[in-house]
Amino acid sequence: MTEKQLLARDAKRDIGAELLLSVRQMKAGKGKVVARVNVPAATTARLKSGLSQAEFANLLGVSVRTLQDWEQGRREPSGAARTLITIAEQKPKLLKEVFKAAAA
């Protein structure tokens, strides 16, 4: 549309009425958009443990890049790493204790 056409269209609009209609639709539950985000287990485990990516990757014995690939869903952990991540998800305090002991 040209600028002139846009101005002509906008001159005919009742923005207040459009907003009121939108609010009524929201209250009625119409037009509801629900976004579902699947968070990888590696991300959940790391966040629960309170460790940085570098600390968590070091504890798992992988590179930060590998951990980032897991967290961004580009790759999946396998074997022992998957087991450690499961433990980290379920017992984040235990993982923190292990990290502190390893750092000492």
In this predicted model, what pLDDT tens digit does every residue of 15-64 receive, in sequence order? 999 999 988 988 887 767 778 889 999 999 999 988 999 999 988 889 99
* Beta carbons of 103 and 56 less than 8 angstroms apart: no
Q: How far apart are CA 10 and CA 16, in angstroms?
A: 12
Q: How far apart are CA 84 and CA 33, in angstroms?
A: 36
Mean pLDDT of the chain: 89
Six-digit token string for 71: 């967290």
Confidence of residue 86 (pLDDT cuts 50, 70, 90): very high
* Beta carbons of 24 and 16 less than 8 angstroms apart: no
Alpha helices (runs of H) in the chain, residue ranges in sequence order: 3-12, 15-27, 41-49, 53-60, 64-71, 79-90, 92-103
User: Whole-structure pTM over 0.75, yes or no?
Assistant: no
* Beta carbons of 92 and 42 less than 8 angstroms apart: no
Six-digit token string for 46: 């790391």
Q: How far apart are CA 104 and CA 91, in angstroms?
A: 21
